[in-house]
Amino acid sequence: APGVYQLASLLVELDTSDEASQVLCADALYQTGCVEEAHKLLLLTLSRNPQSSPILARLALLQLKKGFVYDGNQLLKKVIRIGDTSCLLPIMDIFKDEDRRLMQTHCHVRALVILKNKQED
């Protein structure tokens, strides 16, 4: 992860508007335990493209990790509304095991609540 971060940082310096380099840099920061720095970089990247599902999904995990369930839910809802959920599976490979379980459990519980509410209606 430190080597990936250095490479991604160089790529970001070469082209500050390259979203892929910024996401790679944020992923490397996350993997090295620099969660706050990753969060700040993702927010900056999101400000340039507010409809980017990969960024929104990563931010959702970071919010859930911090215990901000409502914010995490809102970000996941936005990913679903955009309609590009294909980013979720590849992102799960990046997450650490504990965070992957957190996201899977959270999404499973939310899905059950939605199904239960629909059955009651």
pLDDT at 10 over 90: no
User: What's the confidence (pLDDT) of residue 94?
Assistant: 86
**Residue 59 counted as domain residue:** yes
**Residue 103 counted as domain residue:** no
Please count the structural domains in the chain: 1
User: What's the confidence (pLDDT) of residue 104?
Assistant: 87
What gap in Å lies between CA 49 and CA 59, rounded to an integer?
Answer: 13
**Residue 100 counted as domain residue:** no
Q: In the predicted model, what is the mean pLDDT of residues 63-82? A: 90
pTM value is: 0.81
Residue 46 is part of a domain; what is its CATH number? Answer: 1.25.40.10
**Residue 70 counted as domain residue:** yes
* Tens digits of residue pLDDT in 15-32: 888 888 889 889 999 988
pLDDT at 1 over 80: no
What gap in Å lies between CA 88 and CA 60, rounded to an integer?
Answer: 11
List the domain range (segments joined by +) for residue 60. Answer: 2-85
**Residue 109 counted as domain residue:** no
pLDDT at 61 over 80: yes
**Residue 9 counted as domain residue:** yes
What gap in Å lies between CA 116 and CA 106, rounded to an integer?
Answer: 15
Closest by CA to 58, choosing from 69, 44, 72, is 72
Closest by CA to 88, choosing from 42, 52, 54, is 54
